[in-house]
Structure 1
């Protein structure tokens, strides 16, 4: 069974896949978001290809986080995915996932935002595995 993870940002949507038999995760790629346009055709193609059981979407749940514009976009993104695809959409706290990805990639030397966001989506899936007792760190 596959799980897809999405790290939604203002400029990129990072995409990763996880597999529930081996609990392996892999970053796939990031999708560049135009100013007002998310490439839903690409997202729906990914969903059709992987046919995931669960869809993990990073959601900033910190009390000090106040970016209603981003939260509204994430909510709309999740709504469209639910309308298109009959998988379970799960929000997970994305607090520090991008920071962790930057640390892993040594961000001072690597400013490849496509890679950072895809790796961040991987971290979200790993966090879901951990939260649900599949992984011990």
Structure 2
């Protein structure tokens, strides 16, 4: 199974691809956010290129495992990604 992992940040979004059969993963891209917002087309291109079976997004937790203040932004990003790509 091909998996794309997303590390959502304030200024950059990191993407990696993994394969559950070969147990390998590699970074594939860093998408920088512009002042006008996030470039959804660039992310969609990467998703279409790799055709993942699943997309996972990192959860920003505090050291004690509780939700960080940034979690709400990540959840909004995930919701928008789900609605725009049906993932």
For normalisation by structure 2, the TM-score amounts to 0.82
Label 1:36 to 1:26 Cα distance change in 2 as closer, same or farther (>3 A). same
Question: Stretches of 4+ moved more than 6 A in 1?
Answer: none
CA contact (8 A) 1:59 1:71 kept: yes
The structure with the greater share of residues assigned to helix is 1
Per-residue deviation, 1:23: 1.1
1:35 Cα deviation (Å)?
3.4
Task: Give ranges in structure 2 of 5+ residues lacking alignment.
Answer: none
Match of 2:19? 19
Unaligned runs of 5+ in 1: 88-137
Q: Is the 8 A contact 1:7 1:15 kept in 2?
A: yes
TM-score by length of 1: 0.55
Q: Number of aligned pairs? A: 84
Q: Aligned residue for 2:30?
A: 30
RMSD of Structure 2 on Structure 1 (CA): 1.7
Deviation per residue, 1:54-102 (Å, 9 max, x gap): 111011122273x2xx333212211122112233xxxxxxxxxxxxxxx
Larger Rg: 1
Structure with more relative contact order (C-alpha pairs < 8 Å, separation 6 or more): 1
